[in-house]
Amino acid sequence: VLLFVVGMASFSASKLEALSDDGVSLIEDGRYDDAVSVFTGALKSNPNDPELLYYLGISHFNNGNYTDAMKAFMDTLKVDPSFARAHHNLGLTYHAMGMHYHALENYERVINLGADDDMLHYHMGLTKIVLLDWDGAVESLETALILGARKDTVDDKMLGEYRRYLDYAKERAGGGVR
């Protein structure tokens, strides 16, 4: 009996992994409704899988269903409070919903987890611009530029975006473009 249970558990795990891969492919293809269906179905078998919950949130977010995305990211964090990408994307969701201070709280949690990167600081900078925190925006966008330039594969297009918003924030902060 033990061998049967162990065998079924690994079958279920591999099936869930395949479903998850299918769902991620659907996200990449822009088929968000289909991805929601895949992740919702997979969660019936494993309702506390943080990756499945996270990707359900990504699917909802990309579909513009911010309330459902927020719920999925919060459910992810109930299961795994240290899931940095869920905090980051919950921050993006709050930003999209106009809840900018909540967005910043979640971005700060990512930094406290030691998982920050250039995109996180870019998103922080944009949120601080909305809040008219020009000095904070400059600081976040300068950090984004530094971290982005240190990557193994530098994305010149994103670095250009960082510079553009950094120059805007510096101008608004009263320091002009430095």
Whether 177 has a pLDDT exceeding 90, the answer reads: no
| pLDDT score of 11 | 30
Nearby residues of 114 by Cβ (< 8 Å), 6 or more positions away = none
- Cβ distance 27 to 55 under 8 Å? yes
Question: What does the alpha-carbon distance between residue 25 and residue 162 come to, in Å, rounded to a whole number?
Answer: 28
Query: How many CA atoms, within 13 angstroms, populate the side-chain half-sphere of residue 59?
Result: 25
Mean pLDDT of the chain: 89
Amino acid identity for residue 24 in this structure? V
Nearest to residue 143, comparing CAs of 173, 169, 117? Answer: 117
143-161 pLDDT, tens digit per residue, is 999 999 999 898 999 999 9
User: How far is Cα 74 from Cα 113, in angstroms, rounded to an integer?
Assistant: 17
Residue 18 has pLDDT above 80, yes or no: no
Tens of pLDDT, residues 98-145: 999 999 999 999 999 999 899 999 999 999 999 999 999 999 999 999
